[in-house]
Amino acid sequence: MKKVVLLTTGGTIASKRDEKTGLLVAGALTGEELAAMCELSTGIDVQVESVFQVPSNRMDVEKLIALKNKIEAVLNDEAVAGVVVTHGTDTLEETAYFLDLTLDDARPVIVTGSMRGPEDMGTDAFVNLRNSLIAAASEAMKHTGVTVVFNEKIFSARYVKKVHASNVDGFAAPGYGYIGIIDGDEVIVNQKPLHRETYQIGDHLPVVDIITFYLGADGKFVKASVASGARGIILEGFGRGHVPPKAVRAIEDAVKRGVVAVLTTRAEQGQVKEAYQFPGGVSDLKRRGVILGKDYDSKKARIKLAVLLAAGWDVSDIAKAFE
């Protein structure tokens, strides 16, 4: 019998409906209550522990660190085959990627959630949880890094995104696809990451802000971020990674002040790359000290930059890490 530890943090998957308002109260169920409602797979010894009981808009840096430390403590037990974390869907992709960057273990760590509460018609809560437990117990899932299991699909934490606000098929990896599926009690892994990167950090993450650019934008949000003490900024530009010329001076000043700036694209697919020569273009920003964020979306770039800064990396090594 395989031993799997289920750590719950709240979210829709652990929600109850308020009888007075008819609205969901996310995180109202404990892990034990949630597990008791689910028909778990035979052959898996599930140990349940509630870590947090919160909606995912309340997840923050302190909770990320606490969750990572808890998983590391669980994995100190060599009898544990894998770990499942239940989480609200709104920030699930960020938590999953943070764990992927900071947990150095071959055993599977699965993050899952649901788009519908356990009491809702057509809920996906129980099938997602059951599939995640099956995946966490599978030998096929070793060396895949942290993954997200949703709607019978297995996604790499690096590429998964919430792509729909309410549909049960709410997660995807645009341009990359899923790495496997759960078919009944069978786990089928079709591909694994070629490279894994993990970093040692302490109990602190520096502030990294995301600044999205739009037609006619200037540098006021860059200035505000620097003034508030951010150690890094993620610049979400147009297309290949361009920003309006009116924002360039503020970005250059931020870099000169020691703020690490990483350029991403607001496009759904594709990568930041030098292709044009004009003020605010990628080559212009790179010349001013901005790091090119390749195909990272802004949310994942923010998590990675914060982790690299927490690990003590300097600007040149951070640039290589994003390459």
Q: Dihedrals φ, ψ of 30, to 5°?
A: -75, 165
Nearest to 117, CA basis, from 227, 257, 11: 11
- Rounded CA-CA distance 289/286 in Å is 5
Active-site choice (12, 86, 91, 147): 12
Contacts of 11 (CB under 8 A, 6+ apart): 26, 27, 54, 55, 56, 86, 87, 88, 89, 92, 113, 114
Sequence-ordered alpha helix ranges (H) in the chain: 31-36, 61-75, 92-102, 125-136, 220-227, 248-256, 282-287, 298-310, 315-322
Paired tokens of 82:
């894998």
| CA dist list (Å): 200 to 18, 197, 253, 308, 310 | 42, 10, 30, 9, 8
Give yes or no: 12 in active site.
yes
Q: Is the dihedral of CA 87, 49, 308, 225 positive or negative?
A: positive
What three-state secondary structure class fits 6? strand
- Rounded CA-CA distance 48/26 in Å is 18
- Catalytically annotated residues: 12
